[in-house]
Amino acid sequence: MLALWSVSFVLLSVWRFSQAQYVHLGYLPGFEDPAQELYTAPVLPKDVPKIQLRLAGEKRKHNEGRVEVFYEGEWGTVCDDDFTIHAAQVVCRELGYVEAVSWSPSSKYGKGE
């Protein structure tokens, strides 16, 4: 059974935090800081998990697909309800691409298994 996770700014922050950067994509209640857009983490804790990403799905090119996250021993499909082009930019950079050109609902590439 594949887990389904909802995209959140917290999760996207973890992806960047693993690279010693935090890219601000939105505000959570109580965490507003309009003066800062990019933070550099001073020290990474040793227990920060490395989160793996991949593109999966049907009828796709190598540089497109459904976003999946490997977390706690299984691959999970990222929910696209709150996904934006900004989130796609983060995912693409994490996967080694320069930028996201566009994004579409993950149903375009089939559901996760």
pLDDT tens-place string over residues 40-92: 444 555 665 677 888 888 877 888 888 888 877 888 888 777 888 888 888 88
Q: Quick one: tokens of 29?
A: 């209640």
- Among 27-36, 49-58, 104-113, top mean pLDDT goes to 49-58
Q: Which helix (H) or strand (E) holds 55?
A: strand 52-56
Give the CATH number of the domain where residue 18 resides.
3.10.250
Domain that holds residue 42: 3-28+35-109
CA atoms lying within 13 Å on the CB side of residue 64: 14
How would residue 12 be classed by pLDDT, with cut points 50, 70 and 90?
very low
pTM for the model: 0.56
In terms of Cβ atoms closer than 10 Å to its own Cβ (0-12, 13-18, 19+), residue 74 is exposed
Count: domains in the chain: 1
Q: Mean of the per-residue pLDDT values for the chain?
A: 66
- End-to-end, the C-alpha distance of the chain in Å comes to 7
